[in-house]
Amino acid sequence: MLIRRSIPAVADTPIVLTIGNFDGLHLGHQAMLARLAEAARRLRVPSCVMTFEPHPREFFAPDQAPTRLTSLREKLEWLDRAGIERVQICRFNFEFAKTTAEDFIARILYRGLAARWILVGDDFRFGARRAGDLSLLKQAESACGFRVHAMHSVMADGVRVSSTAVREALARGDMARAQRLLGRPYSISGRVVGGDRVGRKLGWPTANVLMKHNRPPLAGIFAVEVHGIEGRALPGVASLGVRPTLARDARPCLEVHLLDFARDIYGAHLRVDFLHKFRDEQKYADVETLKRQIAVDVENAREYFRHRDAETQRSAQK
């Protein structure tokens, strides 16, 4: 996958293009990418996704912007898995924010990217003060030689699939609903780094996964599966939050205890899939009480995976 961070003055090849933030890569995004891939095959040109870094709402109002579902690296990994051939990352700053809708069409879409086929959401807005819309793009079709198509909402469980709906499900701890909206378990990726080794001292060693998320969209104690070790998913129990009993600051951290696993995995890049939430974080009176609760959490995780595996076997036998 070719990743570009600047718009060329003149494109090297025509492309098919879709534009958006693609936070979370949920089922609605996946439907857009499938249409994009089909157009790329039909027109025999590369598929390209244009996205923005940072998110425009993070740029204009960082304190009010919604928490991210995916870091930029995670987003790029999911786009690569979806078979996207090119990603155009637009640096969103004051200069880019001043780009008029007309200049966006002529300089970026027409000359810089040579878009031949463009897919956007039916509520897509672009350009300074969000002045551009689907209608303006359609008006430019004949002059620029591209065709514009609108992607309508994808529905699941009777509601529109959106990043907002995924965030709401995660905030409630409704992992099953989040999975239905995403088409997969919600996950966080990161490298295992050295921590304060408190988990080891408590008798429950953990992998400290370095997150790019300053404000993760969920918190608590979870049953998880971990990918990136031994080529298979490993079961575990994870704590995601500020560790109120032990921590001296309020920075969230992700710690994972892998069940029946004792290898050193420092430096490994892991993907942690969140399957089920057991409880919220709590502040305990002392470390001994915390140790007893961790033992309960580990046993709950074991029971969760025993039950899940038994259900899978029963389904396979039908």
- Report the CATH number of the 2-156 domain: 3.40.50.620
Least confident of 21-25, 62-66, 126-130, 144-148: 62-66
Q: What is the pLDDT of residue 247?
A: 65
Least confident of 68-82, 112-126, 250-264: 250-264
pLDDT one-digit tens code per residue, 237-257: 999 998 777 666 678 899 999
Q: What is the pLDDT of residue 196?
A: 66
Residue 262's pLDDT band (cuts 50, 70, 90): confident
Backbone angles phi, psi at 145, to 5 degrees: 75, 20
Crossing angle of the two packed helices 163-172 and 175-182, in degrees rounded to 10: 160
pLDDT one-digit tens code per residue, 18-71: 999 999 999 999 999 999 999 999 999 999 999 999 988 898 888 888 899 999
- Name the helix (H) or strand (E) containing 115: strand 115-121
Please compute, for residue 65, the number of CA atoms within 13 A of its CA located in the half-sphere on the CB side: 16
Mean pLDDT of 281-288: 86
Q: How far apart are the first and last CA of the chain?
A: 41
Mean pLDDT of 210-230: 92
Contact 178, 161 (CB under 8 A): no
pLDDT one-digit tens code per residue, 30-42: 999 999 999 999 9
Specify the 3-state DSSP secondary structure of 214: coil
Q: Above 70 in pLDDT, residue 83? A: yes
Residue 198's pLDDT band (cuts 50, 70, 90): low
Q: What is the pLDDT of residue 200?
A: 66
Nearest CA-CA partner of 208 in 218, 200, 216, 217: 200
This model's pTM is above 0.85 = yes
Q: CA-to-CA distance for 56 and 152, rounded, in angstroms?
A: 22
The mean predicted confidence, pLDDT, of the chain is 93
Sign of the Cα pseudo-torsion (18, 20, 25, 29, in order): negative
Q: Above 70 in pLDDT, residue 138? A: yes
Helices (H), the chain: 27-43, 56-60, 72-81, 94-97, 101-103, 134-139, 141-144, 163-172, 175-182, 198-202, 287-317
Least confident of 98-112, 134-148, 192-206, 210-224: 192-206
Domain boundaries along the sequence of the chain: 2-156, 185-317
Q: What is the pLDDT of residue 201?
A: 62
Mean pLDDT of 117-143: 95
Q: What is the pLDDT of residue 230?
A: 85
Q: What is the pLDDT of residue 205?
A: 87
Q: CA-to-CA distance for 76 and 255, rounded, in angstroms?
A: 24
The CATH fold of domain 185-317: Elongation Factor Tu (Ef-tu); domain 3 (2.40.30)
User: CB neighbours of 264 closer than 8 A, spacing ≥ 6?
Assistant: none
Q: Is pLDDT larger for residue 117 or for residue 204?
A: 117
Q: CA-to-CA distance for 310 and 255, rounded, in angstroms?
A: 27
